[in-house]
Structure 1
Amino acid sequence: MFQSLALAYWFLIACIALVIVGVIVLFAMKMSHNGKRRKTAMYEMKQRDYFTYLQTALTENSPLKLPPGKLAPLERRVVQDKLIEWIDQFKGEYRDKLIELCREAGFVEHDLKELGRLRYGRQIDAAYRLGGMRCPEAVPGLMELLKDEKPGPMAIMIGRSIARCTTRHGELKDMLALLLTKGKSIHHLAADILLEANLDTSRILLELLEDRNPDFVKVGLVAMWGQAVPEVMPALHRLVGAEHQDVRAEAVKLYLSASPALKDETILKLIQDTDPEVRAEVVQALGSKHASGSIPLLRKALRDEDWRVRYNSAESLSKLGEPGFEALCQAAVQGTGAEREIAMQQIESTMQQSRADDKAVEQMIAHNKKRLLYERYFGPVHGGENRTTKKRTGVATVGGDYTA
């Protein structure tokens, strides 16, 4: 019994000692961090005149001068971080001069050595800085680091550094191939990384859209949003009929947003697609492009089995003026089930919106025309316009089941 009690005392003492040691280590780490922050602020103040000189000298034709005197390791890091920050902000000649200054100061050479170290933390720090300095020689080492990296934020950072550094299209595609193995849904991140490369965007996008790898095609489609690249439009048109459903849906969205006018045969083909997402995008585009000739197609789409198609079709009809509004009224009176319900819902929503926007003369005239159409199909409004109206023959109330 006494032996067990003695063991318990020794165990308690050991635990207390471990707690004390842990507190001391945490306190030392905190003090070290605060000391580093104070030194960083001091070096930033010390180099303030040099940073002012750089901002002025960037506009001159003469080469940039190195920082004066011998710099401490942390002081070199402060200067390097400021140069990387400016490299990200500037382009063209200013960026080239800052990158050359990083080379002359030895920052590139130092981080290339750090990239080959065994310590993971130093490799990651060097990978970030080399990407910031746009160093082409770092690409092979960064590729090896990306191969061994687990899926996560660090893989994204390494891929971004490779895109910033590379000067070859082949290396960029190799990076994308590695990066796409690090996660199932990173196509948007990969597209964002792709656009940071200092290469011909139109050529890259065309290669990706024509590749047999559907993941490359998805990245290319996402990267095309907001990019005016006429050269890739033929490839985009072919992808509208792609075999993979998700690729086809993304291509249709982009094709509809990029095409100022849609051919009738294209509309008919897409509106009969087996993918409900494609059909929903088509009927939505018809309203955005004010294609009044498509009212019969939109009226038919109100009976689609998918609720998104019905909803987008009703919204598009409401955007096509009096003819589209009358088509909604006809669907509410003559239709049944989900068609009638979605039509009546959109009618009430349109009437409320037009009443809210009828301050200007044109909006007031448009509202009065829609009200006349409304009363023609449902009779005069009783008890104020803000009430949900009932039809004379049967009840058409807002609501219902909109599931497919």
Structure 2
Amino acid sequence: MSGAPHVLVVNAGSSSLKYSLVDATTGASPGGGLVERISEQVGTVIHEGPEGEVRIEGAVADHEAAFALALAAFEEHGPSLAAYDVVAVGHRAVHGGDRFSAPVRVTDEVCRAIEDLVPLAPLHNPANLEGIAGARALFPDLPHVAVFDTAFHQSLPEHAWTYAVPRSWASEHAIRRYGFHGTSFSFVSRAAAELLGKPLEETNLIVAHLGNGASITAVRGGASVETSMGMTPLEGLVMGTRSGDVDPALHAHLHRELGLSLDEIDTELNRNSGLKGLAGENDFREVLRMRTDGDEGACLAFDVYCHRLRKYVGAYYAVLGRVDAVVFTGGVGENAAPVRAESLAGLAELGITVDAERNAAPNGEPRAISPDGSRVAVLVVPTDEEWEIARQAVEVIGAS
């Protein structure tokens, strides 16, 4: 048995289950995979182990059945879980509201609290709960730890999380800014400070997590002090299918003028807007290809995306007062050099510049893409949310 503590990291969606065995010390993953089409007659397991990728089909009635298929894949195709010191199951939980400011060991009471928060995350929290229930049924003797996307942002000062609406809305209905992508921001902030050679508690960062979902956070001394996503993941930056910031009166206008219901408007803003709404495509790689070919919609989508991001960088510079680094992470942030260059263009007066050659060079390692001696470093730091969940899970069970 491997002596290093390992955590089975789980990310449960409504019809999928992502799982990964992670060394909590090094972040290495000897195996993992994805179960797709849960609740359909035939589901698929895409498992990655010592043999490489294998695909297995089988009935997946629910999340417990999905876990059973995942365990069978580990036993048949490796690595065998029995060969590792598996100390916990770590669960990604999307919305912890204002109840959870840190990861917690899962209990029946914690599950009830997550269920109480379903109105704030109706698409995510029910799936997270199903994943937790399935894993607890199959791993009854292991501790289970919930790691919340929102927890990192519980350090927001009151003036940053408060919306200028009637105060009773916050006190009675939990209407406030929560923020998301917390596990990514936690991991990347710590890694960026290490890359800078500075203690995290002395470091001011602007971190942009850019994927199909995207948000940006001002991090002072390792704590979130401002973030772009709000009560839901819709607010803030332009995303793959989400609009980000719009006039709050847009809902009433669309209802009056087009007769759209609130649910229809919510669907349009979450699933048919952003890059998809402007360019007809939400995959940024495809948007960049279309832009190169001169597609008008893709050119506009790129410009709007980068303009919104640049605006937030400037705003968060003002929030922090002093910035040590602007950090890019996530699939787009790590791989789309044109986005990094364009979103920071014109910020030289703030000490923010990008070295064109460094920015364009393909490299999967944490690195600086700013010129040597820049007042503000520009960094690219690959995120590893699975490792962060594993690390936090081990901290929780160690403390308990």
Q: Same fold (TM over 0.5)?
A: no
Q: Which has the higher helix share?
A: 1
Report the structure number with the largest CA radius of gyration. Answer: 1
Which category describes the TM-score, using the shorter chain as reference length? under 0.3
TM-score (norm 2): 0.23
TM-score (norm 1): 0.23
